[in-house]
A and B are shown apart, each in its own frame.
Chain A
Amino acid sequence: MIFQEVPLDSIDFVDETFRISEDVDSAAMRVSLAAIGQLNPALLIEESSRRIIVCGFRRLRALRELGRTVALAQTRASAGCSRLEAFRLAIFDNLSHREFSPLEKARILFTLKGVCEVAHDTLVEAYLPLLGLPTHKNVLRTYLGLHVLDPDLRRMFNDGRLTLASAERLSGSPREAQYRFASLLARVRLSASRQREMLDLAEELASITDTALGEVFERAEIHSILGDSRLSPFQKGEQIYELLYRWRNPRLSQAEERFQVEKKQLGLPGAVRISPDPHFETPRLRVEFDVASAQRFREIASALREAAEAPALEELFRVS
């Protein structure tokens, strides 16, 4: 194994075929190299008159930014090292000292498939376990989708704001929809389940109205919520979810709202809970209350007696 000093201007920094790291600009790397110099050589492939980086993207960039003109590297001729062999060197070199993030795993699998032309079954059976992933074709599909996701969504995924399931789902959507959802997610906070529910609703609304998924997020009412400075990102997320729910389920949500109005009309104390049958499937109502004393019991019984005479009671049953 021969290491040599290679002029930095002989390296093709634009070719990122074998890049694994998500972020190749590292301030920490620059500080380290400035303080103690380059300890670990990079790995390059020599291809006609240029050199392509296999390992050491961050090191070499940092050296260039520090104004150095040469770097320590091991160089291999492209004739003696296939793309797959070279990329495997990069994978194993990285695996020896760190764990890959999900986006890096996605990038590796994408390169193995697209650049190194590794067969689908081999990716599932050999490379998924190598990367610590379950051996299943759906996992491969998820990660390949992740790699081609909108850059903003990728960042949100990396920050933990977008779930893997949502990322996979959005990766199958048109770019426009990805961009629109990224714009929305930049201004709201959604739990994992709310992301799923919101995407469910938006997809169905798009199908119902024969519009593109992205257009659902462009409606004026949504923009109005997003622009309301009194609301926190969580409140905005909830309100947008409720809006989509009402659009998707107009009659059910109308009944739910009417039920709440009529219930309020009864003027019962907060200790009395009245709930309809799930989804109003039958007209039954459930009435519950908790009391800690006979006096409280009498107060609630009296409030219930009054409610029994209120016209709103009939309405409550009519709603349900």
Chain B
Amino acid sequence: MGMIPYRPERILVQEESWNDAHARDILSRLPGIPVRTIQQVDSIIPELNSASDPHASGKRTLILARHRGRFMKECPGSGAEICCNYFVVNYAFNCHLECTYCILQSYLDNPALIVFTNLHQLMEEIRERLAQAPNRFFRIGTGEMADSLALDKITHCSRLLVPLFATLPNGVLELKTKSDEIENLRDLDHLGRTIVSWSVNSKRICRSEELKTASLEDRLAAARQCQEWGYRIGFHFDPIIDYEGWEADYREAVQEVFQAVDPERIAWVSLGALRFTPHLKEIVRQRFPKSKIPYGEFVPGHHGKLRYFRPIREELYSKMRAWIHQAAPEVFVYLCMENRASWERSLYTVPRDTDHLSSQMDSLASRGVVSVE
């Protein structure tokens, strides 16, 4: 089953966004939906939060607004003991895909779905930041505060960002998604500087916890298509969830992933076990009372997040690594936001430090790029 597409019930346009072509383009792709102008984005928060389930109803309001401040920042994982030195750029806040475990439920003050209209500034900022550090390589993703492609039919962001990165000699773009929304990528001249990645999970978790996403089969069909269009692809088994029967389910998922695509043209595969904030755990219990994922054997870890007791994580990671390397011995596997002990005991290899992992990944990212001069 494909992703359930996003269609808002109303659109609120911040007054100054009417000056942005991106806002007008988005509106032209959403005919027949009531549009209202607002002065301040925050002014709408009390109204949205007064609903019985603001997280569900808030997303039915699409806000088109300008982003204040910088678009590009270091990935929040950068505080971890070993991190990959990733950068994130946010073209939107929030996501309609309704994954039960989604951190955005506890992170965002505004429950509406906000798409930023000053994309020209976002692009300029990326261009300038990369030009200021020509000897550094940047891996930049748009999937932190929103799914990179789930809204692409409406925003066409990929059609701006992919060509931009094709002109940048020291950076690659990673589009991270749980959708099958790839049509806009079809004829873009990406020059190998865009990696399209899928967050993947066992079929059972895709069905029960990732409610409006594309099925695993459809994500893999989209991945295969992207490979055919010359893109390198990535996979993120994240969050891996510990449940009775996980081994058979995840083993099957790993097999399906590597049967569906050419392992030679996979840039990387990451593993990350489920993590929660205590606040998010409560939200999940209230919003998705049937979900069992809040009841894993969690302990408080980095930044106060709850994560599985380390031996459980190590078991998840080491078995996943073994299955992945059985299917694709050469593929690069790394852990997201994990400590040295977990690397040692589950992947049997530890980057010396963050810089070491970062340079390994930079070199993987640069492997398929066409030189830009």
The digit string for A189-208, where 1 denotes a CB below 8 A from any CB of B, is 00000000000000010011
* Sampled A-B contacts (11; CB under 8 Å): A204-B295, A207-B285, A208-B292, A252-B297, A252-B299, A252-B309, A280-B309, A281-B301, A281-B339, A281-B341, A282-B339
B134 at the interface (CB under 8 A from A): no
* A250 lies within 8 A of B341 (CB): no
* B309 lies within 8 A of A279 (CB): yes
* A208 lies within 8 A of B339 (CB): no
Beyond the given A252-B297, A252-B309, please list 19 additional residue pairs across the A-B interface where CB-CB is below 8 A: A204-B295, A207-B285, A207-B292, A207-B295, A208-B295, A248-B297, A249-B309, A250-B297, A251-B297, A279-B299, A279-B309, A280-B309, A280-B311, A281-B299, A281-B301, A281-B310, A281-B339, A282-B341, A283-B341
Which chain A residues (181-223) contact chain B, with CB distance < 8 Å? Answer: 204, 207-208
Q: How far is the CA of A281 from the CA of B339 in the complex (A)?
A: 9
Task: Give B26 Cβ to nearest chain A Cβ, in Å.
Answer: 38
Which chain B residues (333-360) contact chain A, with CB distance < 8 Å? Answer: 339-341
B300 at the interface (CB under 8 A from A): yes
Q: How far is the CA of A259 from the CA of B299 in the complex (A)?
A: 17
B312 at the interface (CB under 8 A from A): yes
Task: Give A319 Cβ to nearest chain B Cβ, in Å.
Answer: 9
Which residues in A have their C-beta under 8 angstroms from that of B292?
A: 207-208
- Most chain A CB neighbours (cut-off 10 Å) among B292, B301, B310: B310
* B340 lies within 8 A of A251 (CB): no
Which residues in B have their C-beta under 8 angstroms from that of A249?
A: 297, 309
Chain B count of residues within 8 A CB distance of the other chain: 15
Task: Give A210 Cβ to nearest chain B Cβ, in Å.
Answer: 9
Which residues in A have their C-beta under 8 angstroms from that of B294?
A: 204, 207
The digit string for B267-307, where 1 denotes a CB below 8 A from any CB of A, is 00000000000000000010000001011010111000000
Q: How far is the CA of A208 from the CA of B244 in the complex (A)?
A: 11
Interface secondary structure of A, over-half rule: helix
Task: Give B131 Cβ to nearest chain A Cβ, in Å.
Answer: 40
Which residues in A have their C-beta under 8 angstroms from that of B339?
A: 281-282
Q: How far is the CA of A37 from the CA of B340 in the complex (A)?
A: 82
Which residues in A have their C-beta under 8 angstroms from that of B312?
A: 251
Which residues in B have their C-beta under 8 angstroms from that of A280?
A: 309-311
Q: How far is the CA of A279 from the CA of B308 in the complex (A)?
A: 10
A164 at the interface (CB under 8 A from B): no
Q: How far is the CA of A48 from the CA of B285 in the complex (A)?
A: 52
Chain A count of residues within 8 A CB distance of the other chain: 15
Q: How far is the CA of A299 from the CA of B295 in the complex (A)?
A: 47
Task: Give A174 Cβ to nearest chain B Cβ, in Å.
Answer: 14
Which chain A residues (248-268) contact chain B, with CB distance < 8 Å? Answer: 248-252, 255
Q: How far is the CA of A249 from the CA of B310 in the complex (A)?
A: 13
Q: How far is the CA of A279 from the CA of B339 in the complex (A)?
A: 14
Q: Kindly report which residue of chain B lies nearest to residue A252, judged by CB atoms.
A: B309
Which residues in A have their C-beta under 8 angstroms from that of B301?
A: 279, 281
Q: How far is the CA of A251 from the CA of B316 in the complex (A)?
A: 14
Which chain A residues (273-308) contact chain B, with CB distance < 8 Å? Answer: 278-283
* B309 lies within 8 A of A282 (CB): no
Which residues in B have their C-beta under 8 angstroms from that of A251?
A: 297, 309, 311-312
Q: Kindly report which residue of chain B lies nearest to residue A253, judged by CB atoms.
A: B297
Which of A208, A248, A279, A282 is within 8 Å of B300, CB to CB? Answer: A279
Which residues in B have their C-beta under 8 angstroms from that of A278?
A: 299-300
Task: Give A280 Cβ to nearest chain B Cβ, in Å.
Answer: 6
Q: How far is the CA of A281 from the CA of B311 in the complex (A)?
A: 9
Which residues in B have their C-beta under 8 angstroms from that of A248?
A: 297
Q: How far is the CA of A252 from the CA of B310 in the complex (A)?
A: 9
- Most chain B CB neighbours (cut-off 10 Å) among A251, A252, A280, A281: A281
Q: How far is the CA of A249 from the CA of B285 in the complex (A)?
A: 18
Q: Kindly report which residue of chain A lies nearest to residue B301, judged by CB atoms.
A: A281
Q: How far is the CA of A255 from the CA of B312 in the complex (A)?
A: 12
Which of A250, A255, A282 is within 8 Å of B340, CB to CB? Answer: A282
Q: Kindly report which residue of chain A lies nearest to residue B307, judged by CB atoms.
A: A281
* B297 lies within 8 A of A255 (CB): no
Task: Give A320 Cβ to nearest chain B Cβ, in Å.
Answer: 9
Q: How far is the CA of A249 from the CA of B301 in the complex (A)?
A: 16
Which residues in A have their C-beta under 8 angstroms from that of B295?
A: 204, 207-208
Q: Kindly report which residue of chain B lies nearest to residue A210, judged by CB atoms.
A: B292
Which residues in B have their C-beta under 8 angstroms from that of A204?
A: 294-295
Which residues in B have their C-beta under 8 angstroms from that of A281?
A: 299, 301, 310, 339, 341
3 residue pairs, one from A and one from B, having the closest CB atoms: A279-B299, A208-B295, A282-B341
Task: Give A146 Cβ to nearest chain B Cβ, in Å.
Answer: 22
Which residues in B have their C-beta under 8 angstroms from that of A283?
A: 341
Which chain A residues (113-136) contact chain B, with CB distance < 8 Å? Answer: none
Which chain A residues (13-57) contact chain B, with CB distance < 8 Å? Answer: none
Q: How far is the CA of A159 from the CA of B312 in the complex (A)?
A: 44
Task: Give B302 Cβ to nearest chain A Cβ, in Å.
Answer: 9
Task: Give A286 Cβ to nearest chain B Cβ, in Å.
Answer: 15
Q: How far is the CA of A207 from the CA of B286 in the complex (A)?
A: 12
Task: Give A120 Cβ to nearest chain B Cβ, in Å.
Answer: 14
